[in-house]
Structure 1
Amino acid sequence: MLSGFVFDVEGTLVDSVPQNLRSLQDALEHAGHRVPYQTLQLYSGLDGDQTLQLAIPEGSERERKEILAEQGAIYERDYLSSVKPFEGVRDVFRVLTEMGGRVALATDCKGIAFKRYLSLLNADDYIAATACGDDVEHGKPDPRLVGIALRKLALPGAQSVMVGDTPYDAEAGLEAGAKAAGVLTGGFSEETLSQAGCFAVAEDVRALLAHLLRGEPEPARAQLDLLRKSA
């Protein structure tokens, strides 16, 4: 059985991907750049500066920093209040903890948004460690964020799994020496997440539970039975 469970937050534990993409699109338009939503979706979960290098290759480093700063302000002002947690997250954390696992969060977000997410999840009693955007300069797929979470858990990557909604989460987890598992709540396909190295992919974290407990794929009925017993 795996011992460490490192979770991404945005798109994995809270339903925030559309809001994040819309706020970035707004900031880009204010700077004179029209980038289709579908294009930004391809880079959802990627480090913000890397995203802009791909979306507006003509943009300077200074412009990218200004756009990201404005996006953060727009997101907090116009979109953050609409973010909701996905169902069953607290239950999943409880089951993992009761089975002897340790839960950590590894997310690029920080500040007001991160505090809001923690409040929405209402699962502080099951979260053993956090690593956020305040701890690193670069976001995923850079593995250092996951590495910090693993060090705080005092667990080796070989005994742990990174759970996320994007191929960049999987890449970061694998580079940090952990396994990777994926959920479909961020807009990426099962094929994309599997190709990125996820040993299991499910509709959401609730459906992923049995895979996490066993460290391998598990029939859907067994997942539901585990949650019923924990209720």
Structure 2
Amino acid sequence: MLFSGFIFDVEGTLIDCIPQNLQSLQETLAEFGVPVPYEVLQLYSGMDGDDALRIIAPSLDEVARKKLMKAQGERYQKKYLETVRAFAGVRRLFEGIKSAGGKISLATDCQGAQLRHYHSLLSADDLIDQIACGDDVEKGKPDPGLVRLAVKKLSVAPNKAAMVGDTPYDAEAAKAVGVPALGLLSGGFTRAALLEAGCFEVAQEVGALGLILDGATAL
């Protein structure tokens, strides 16, 4: 299978931050009077924030959900953001893709200062061709908007792009656009869950993708 474009999710895929994200969400939910077990939050990690809250906190109305998401974002940025790290091997992988003639885009719900901090951790701005972020679309994954935009920005056919993500929602978004999906176990989901969502292959984390992608980049 040959690809000329690679679309990467960021949180849980390139940046090791899912435990911090979920911990900040759990703490914020508790403040709003909605205690939710960590294991339940894990099931919806990577899903559009409002959609996830509709499921895990059905007692909250739209106004309360917006307040909660704002509070959670502030808590995460203040308490946890400086503790996250990039996964090993990201730049090496990106260099390999670029040297083979591939294009790279990020497709992430995050934005603003948070996204800028992630960029600084990756130290790979010179290798990233395009970015589709939360500022560009109304909804996060599994809505296909981010992946569709990333494909458009890369100017590649959907079947010549590969979506790399750590959640079933990345795979579902990719599938809706006709983009093959690669899954990573670094977000806390099982191999079975990622395959069931449509991933054609699953790796432990982003640094292990080299062997899978070897020979899979079209010039």
Q: TM-score range by the shorter chain?
A: over 0.9
Q: Which deviations, in whole Å up to 9, do the C-alpha atoms of 1:106-146 show, x marking residues without a partner?
A: 00011111000001000011100001111111000000101
Partner of 1:44: 45
**What secondary structure, in the 3-state scheme, does the structure 2 residue paired with 1:199 have?**
strand
Partner of 1:93: 94
- State how 1:61-76 maps to structure 2 within 5 Å: 61-76=62-77
Partner of 2:105: 104
Q: Which deviations, in whole Å up to 9, do the C-alpha atoms of 1:144-197 show, x marking residues without a partner?
A: 101111111111111001000000000011111110001110000111101111
Instruction: Establish whether residue 150 from structure 1 lines up as the match of residue 156 from structure 2.
Output: no
Partner of 2:15: 14
Per-residue deviation at 1:214?
4.1
Inter-partner Cα distance in structure 1 for 2:73 and 2:115: 12
Contact 1:96 1:213 in 2 (8 A): no
Partner of 1:181: 182
Partner of 1:227: none
Partner of 1:119: 120
Partner of 1:221: none
**What secondary structure, in the 3-state scheme, does the structure 2 residue paired with 1:73 have?**
helix
**What secondary structure, in the 3-state scheme, does the structure 1 residue paired with 2:129 have?**
strand
Inter-partner Cα distance in structure 2 for 1:5 and 1:209: 13
- State how 1:145-224 maps to structure 2 within 5 Å: 145-215=146-216
Unaligned runs of 5+ in 1: 217-231
**What secondary structure, in the 3-state scheme, does the structure 2 residue paired with 1:95 have?**
helix
Partner of 2:136: 135
Inter-partner Cα distance in structure 1 for 2:4 and 2:206: 17
- Larger relative contact order (CA 8 Å, sep ≥ 6): 2
**What secondary structure, in the 3-state scheme, does the structure 1 residue paired with 2:199 have?**
coil
TM-score (normalised: structure 2): 0.96
Deviating above 6 A after TM superposition, structure 1's stretches of 4 or more consecutive aligned residues are none
Over the aligned positions, Cα root-mean-square deviation in angstroms equals 1.1
Inter-partner Cα distance in structure 2 for 1:107 and 1:215: 23
**What secondary structure, in the 3-state scheme, does the structure 2 residue paired with 1:125 have?**
helix
**What secondary structure, in the 3-state scheme, does the structure 2 residue paired with 1:72 have?**
helix
- State how 1:76-87 maps to structure 2 within 5 Å: 76-87=77-88
Inter-partner Cα distance in structure 1 for 2:204 and 2:57: 32
Inter-partner Cα distance in structure 2 for 1:145 and 1:119: 22
Inter-partner Cα distance in structure 1 for 2:23 and 2:134: 20
Inter-partner Cα distance in structure 2 for 1:78 and 1:144: 30
Instruction: Establish whether residue 3 from structure 1 lines up as the match of residue 4 from structure 2.
Output: yes
**What secondary structure, in the 3-state scheme, does the structure 1 residue paired with 2:110 have?**
coil
Q: Which amino acid aligns with 2:43?
A: L
Contact 1:8 1:163 in 2 (8 A): yes
Q: Which amino acid aligns with 2:109?
A: D
Contact 1:2 1:214 in 2 (8 A): no
Q: Which deviations, in whole Å up to 9, do the C-alpha atoms of 1:62-107 show, x marking residues without a partner?
A: 1111100000000100000001000000000000010110010000
Contact 1:9 1:106 in 2 (8 A): yes
Q: Which amino acid aligns with 1:98?
A: S
Q: Which amino acid aligns with 1:206?
A: G
Per-residue deviation at 1:215?
4.5
Inter-partner Cα distance in structure 1 for 2:214 and 2:111: 29
Identity fraction in percent: 51
Inter-partner Cα distance in structure 2 for 1:158 and 1:215: 13
